[in-house]
């Protein structure tokens, strides 16, 4: 698809406006944390939902709902105060390859983070040298400092080994972006939206390549960097807002 810079800008802006609306929340995983108002509840619900966000979207919503029901719809209180026996009851949870063993470890690690690391937000703060990539790698290291089965490591992406870290980047978009449209939360004020990287999956990757925004064939971290750098040409302060356009074009329009 050959478009001039201005034509592509206008097209992306139009699709961003079309899909960045509350009407599309209902079928999106972001609808799950929108059930909460407390900052910590939103963070935890968002992180857990993002962590299982692969596969059928209805299945993601259903399973995230089941997980939060098992936490009595008070995720922060559960994380902090649940007994070992209460936590182990979540051993029956599963979503595709994310099973009860993984679930219990995730809850245990989150408890460690909120008790001893001042919560999730501080762990994602980027520095000037390594940016978001370095922040994700440091977060992963801290998340895995709690005793855990080796199998669970695959559920925390490692961009330092080339992973596109789609689910973590999506979680960051939810937490950081704030354009007052009622979709992303904008809860985290210490990370500027200009530093965010675009979540990349099969849908957004296909659309990005068709629009000439991405040449790399693999959906890996190098592709994330290439795509985001190209999107910064259209909005350097908020490049990831075009995730709405790329995803909407792929999922809803089969572009």
Mean pLDDT of 205-223: 98
Residue extents of the structural domains in the chain: 5-251
List the structure tokens of 36: 């909460």
Mean pLDDT of 41-51: 98
Could you tell me the CA-to-CA distances from 192 to 13, 91, 173, 197, 239 in Å, in that order? Answer: 20, 37, 11, 11, 11
Contacts of 6 (CB under 8 A, 6+ apart): none
pLDDT in tens, 67-124: 999 999 999 999 999 999 999 999 999 999 999 999 999 999 999 999 999 999 999 9
23-27, 43-47, 176-180: the lowest-pLDDT one: 23-27
CA distance 235 to 231: 7
Could you tell me the CA-to-CA distances from 163 to 10, 52, 141, 242 in Å, in that order? Answer: 31, 16, 15, 21
Helices (H), the chain: 5-19, 39-51, 57-70, 75-81, 84-88, 100-116, 120-123, 131-143, 166-176, 202-210, 221-232, 243-251
Which pLDDT score, from 0 to 100, does residue 1 have?
65
CA distance 186 to 178: 4
Average pLDDT, the chain: 96
Q: Give percent of the chain with pLDDT exceeding 70.
A: 100
Which pLDDT score, from 0 to 100, does residue 214 have?
98
Mean pLDDT of 228-255: 96
């Amino acid at each position: 698809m050959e478009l001039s810079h201005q034509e592509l800008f206008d097209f992306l802006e139009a699709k961003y406006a079309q899909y960045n609306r509350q009407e599309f929340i209902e079928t999106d995983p972001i609808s799950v944390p929108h059930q909460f108002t407390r900052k910590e509840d939103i963070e935890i619900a968002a992180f857990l939902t993002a962590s299982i966000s692969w596969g059928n979207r209805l299945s993601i919503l259903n399973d995230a709902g089941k997980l939060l029901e098992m936490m009595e719809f008070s995720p922060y209180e559960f994380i902090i105060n649940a007994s070992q026996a209460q936590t182990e009851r979540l051993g029956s949870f599963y979503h595709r390859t994310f099973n009860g063993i993984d679930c219990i470890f995730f809850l245990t690690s989150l408890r460690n983070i909120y008790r001893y690391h001042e919560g999730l937000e501080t762990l994602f703060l980027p520095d000037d040298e390594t940016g978001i990539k370095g922040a994700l790698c440091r977060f992963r290291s801290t998340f895995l400092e709690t005793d855990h089965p080796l199998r669970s490591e695959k559920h925390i992406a490692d961009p330092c080994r080339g992973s596109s870290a789609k689910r973590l980047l999506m979680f960051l978009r939810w937490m950081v972006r704030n354009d007052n449209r009622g979709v992303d939360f904008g809860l985290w004020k210490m990370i500027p939206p200009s530093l965010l990287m675009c979540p990349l999956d099969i849908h957004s990757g296909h659309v990005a390549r068709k629009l000439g925004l991405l040449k790399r064939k693999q959906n890996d971290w190098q592709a994330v960097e290439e795509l985001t750098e190209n999107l910064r040409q259209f909005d350097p302060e908020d490049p990831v807002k075009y995730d709405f356009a790329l995803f909407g074009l792929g999922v809803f329009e089969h572009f």
